[in-house]
Amino acid sequence: MTTIAVISGISALWLGGAAAAAAFPIIAHFLSRRGGPTLDFPAVRFVQIAAAEQAARERPRDLFLLLLRVLIIALIALAFDRPVWSTTSNPDIDTAQGEDIVIVIDASASMTRSHAQSGGRAYFEIARSRALEELEAAQSAGARTAVILASLNPEAILPRLTDQSAPLAARLREASVTLQRADMQSAIALAATLPAPTDEPLRPRRVIVFSDMQASNFQGVSVPASVTLDLRSIADQAPPRNLAVSDIEISPPRPIAGRESIVSVKVTNFSDAPARPTVTCDAASSQRSLSPNLAPGASTTLSFPITFPTATQTPVRVSLIDASFTHDDAAYLVADVRQARRIALITAAPDSDRRGGAYFASLALAPTETSEFRVIRVAPTQATPELLASFDAVIIAQAALLPDSAPAAIRAALEQSVGVLWVIDSQPAYESAAAFNAPAPSLPVTLNSRFTQLAADEHLTLRPADLDRGPLALFEGPATRALLDATFNTSAPADLAPASVPLILLSNGDPFIAWRTGPRATGRIITINADLAPDHTSLVKGPMFPVLMHELLRFILPASAARQYAEVGELLTTRVPAALTFSDPVADPLDRPVRVTRGSASAAFDPILTAPPADAPGITDLHDASRTIIARAATNLSPDESDPRTLDEAAIAELTDAPDASIRLTAAAPGASITRQAIELWPWLLAAAIASLAVESLIAGFNRRASTPERDA
């Protein structure tokens, strides 16, 4: 155990005042020794001798009275300064053990909360003060120390362990809390691997974490067996309370001007009491409000219908009022409103080929310039992840043999929730689809033979597989018959892949149209396993083909994107329409530079803007060299920071798989392994002054009686 005792709270001003006050008795003492002129009388010679003998006897007593009076005045002066006697002890640090101590301080958004039991101080302030105490105790015990601030990107205050506490303490006092989430996994891993001073041996390492122990920040944390993890909770004992809005999104992700879109948001009641907040959505100069009833601990998803009048980037804000924690009371996004849905048609067919399936697919979707869809041809060699991610959906038709780079671009588009319609219409397309499926099954069908082309007098017909759901739910009655009467002279023999849904089958039992969710459960992908050229099918000549193409495209259009905003601390990424002209350089409101990524001559896409992270939730405007706003980006608080629930013993037991790892959780506010006792000394100083005054009175009174001659009666 290490124990430190100090007296604090004595100011230099009071020390000076006490010294000045104590000087008065000394000055008075010396002034009292001065007398008048000396006159010699022979008759009093023997009286003077007796008086000198008596003064010699009383001189020590007078000196003692002088010191006693100085002490009384000094004690009274110090009592008014209210000094404190404090002791700090830490049973965890043993000088003989020689541990390395790494202190991790939670600097996430939840640490901005006010601690009710500590007079409303912020959690982070309490954690920092306790860390300073721990640092002082560790350094006194001879331990090497380090301090790490745990946020989205944890960092050490100094790059290695040190035995000098002054630089650590100075930088720690300057540290501040963020509105980011805390990556505790990375913080603990950094604490376990932080290097020691050069050429010094390794020691046992203790990692002490000061945090509100928000359970969401500790999910997935694993503790190395090489460290002892000491969790110091500063969480308030009061039950958690918070109302939060999170997970905001808009459907479709790129709304169409003049068409209704849906803004949805999750509202959660982190409280032990029911709540009925008013949730307001502000967008496109309109405001809508809902008031859901939320049971304790319950959440609900609210939907707000919004129609954007013009094609532009429009800020959207959904908010409520809650005084317990304000940073998650609003959620933001930027609606990238477009004039039409942009469809990429990956094809190797020339524009002059008006008899192939690619031409008829494009014509069915966009017969006029005012159509809902705008189809843009993309050569297979131009297909890049950046380009395809700027589209709402991708059609692959008459693409022949795709280059090696194209499958990766298509897979990346699927992971960005971009829908894909793949027409397997030739042997080269068959081989490209098989290659796409080779690394991991992604298509709804498993190709098992060569592409088949029947004789002119032979054909396959269609039969329904699952017309009651998915994109073909509208095909009923005569529409179904018109669709199933179509004939085909080609097919791509295939079996249905797992987790896939067949919509229409060929008469030989092979899937004609089937769909499934793409890799990582993101964008939908549909295959049409036959050639759509009018020479090989009667489908494109019938009235149902445009309806079929529109329904298939609407089905694969993403209902939501991966995430339409950044979290605090993350880079801001947004796009601007390729038709928008702007001048470099681009900057954010703080004039920090913004990186602009443009397409090449062979693969043009919407320019991508990458801006520095925002420090708080809200909308960030990005401007060009002329100070014109060209794009906006949204930032929200991480949902992890909204949940105030803390770790329990069961959750702590799951933090590690290492059987010899040591983990424990103790309270740090108030009370902890570090114990600090503070005793105010002013009552004791006043008591000592009063006692000294009593002693002075007794001695002075006795001295006066002894020096007064007795009179005869």
pLDDT, tens only, 119-177: 778 999 999 999 999 988 888 888 889 999 999 999 999 998 988 888 889 999 999 99
Write out the two tokens for 134.
Answer: 């721990």
CB-count exposure of residue 283 (10 Å: 0-12, 13-18, 19+): buried
Q: Is the pLDDT of residue 218 over 70?
A: yes
Average pLDDT rounded to a whole number, residues 202-207: 84
pLDDT tens digits for 75-90? 787 777 767 665 444 4
- Whole-angstrom distance, CA of residue 523 vs CA of residue 517: 6
CA 407 from chain centre, in angstroms, equals 34
Q: Is the pLDDT of residue 65 over 80?
A: no
Confidence grade of residue 278 (pLDDT, cut at 50, 70, 90)? very high
pLDDT tens digits for 628-687? 999 999 999 999 999 988 887 677 766 655 445 567 777 765 434 434 445 677 788 788
State in words which class domain 242-337 has.
mainly beta
Q: Between 97 and 452, whose confidence is greater?
A: 452
- Whole-angstrom distance, CA of residue 78 vs CA of residue 12: 11
DSSP state of 499: T
pLDDT for the residue 1: 44
Q: Any residues with CB less than 8 A from the CB of 526 and at least 6 apart, and which? A: 419, 420, 421, 422, 444, 471, 513, 514, 515, 552, 555, 556
Q: Percentage of the chain surpassing pLDDT 70? A: 81
Residues of the chain with CATH 2.60.40.10: 242-337
Looking at 192-201, 301-310, 456-465, 702-711, which range is the least confident one?
A: 702-711
Q: Is the pLDDT of residue 2 over 60?
A: no
Q: Between 285 and 24, whose confidence is greater?
A: 285
Average pLDDT rounded to a whole number, residues 360-367: 93
Q: Is the pLDDT of residue 46 over 70?
A: no
The answer to whether residues 279 and 328 touch, using CB atoms and an 8 Å cutoff, is: no
pLDDT for the residue 96: 40
DSSP state of 290: E
The CATH fold of domain 341-556: Rossmann fold (3.40.50)
Average pLDDT rounded to a whole number, residues 285-302: 94
pLDDT for the residue 36: 53
Q: Is the pLDDT of residue 315 over 80?
A: yes
DSSP state of 694: H
Confidence grade of residue 283 (pLDDT, cut at 50, 70, 90)? very high
pLDDT for the residue 6: 46
- Whole-angstrom distance, CA of residue 388 vs CA of residue 346: 10
- Whole-angstrom distance, CA of residue 662 vs CA of residue 499: 44
Confidence grade of residue 605 (pLDDT, cut at 50, 70, 90)? confident
The stretches of 366-459 forming alpha helices (DSSP H) are 385-388, 405-415, 427-437
Average pLDDT rounded to a whole number, residues 519-531: 89
Q: Between 404 and 318, whose confidence is greater?
A: 318
Handedness of CA 32, 36, 37, 38 (dihedral sign): negative
pLDDT for the residue 29: 59
Average pLDDT rounded to a whole number, residues 506-534: 90
One-letter amino acid of 634: A
Q: Is the pLDDT of residue 489 over 60?
A: yes
pLDDT for the residue 620: 97
Q: Between 608 and 655, whose confidence is greater?
A: 608
The mean of the pLDDT values for the chain is 83
pLDDT for the residue 321: 94
Helix (H, G, I), strand (E, B) or coil at 442: coil
Q: Is the pLDDT of residue 621 over 90?
A: yes
Residues of the chain with CATH 3.40.50.880: 341-556
Write out the two tokens for 41.
Answer: 């009388």
Looking at 16-30, 328-342, 616-630, which range is the least confident one?
A: 16-30
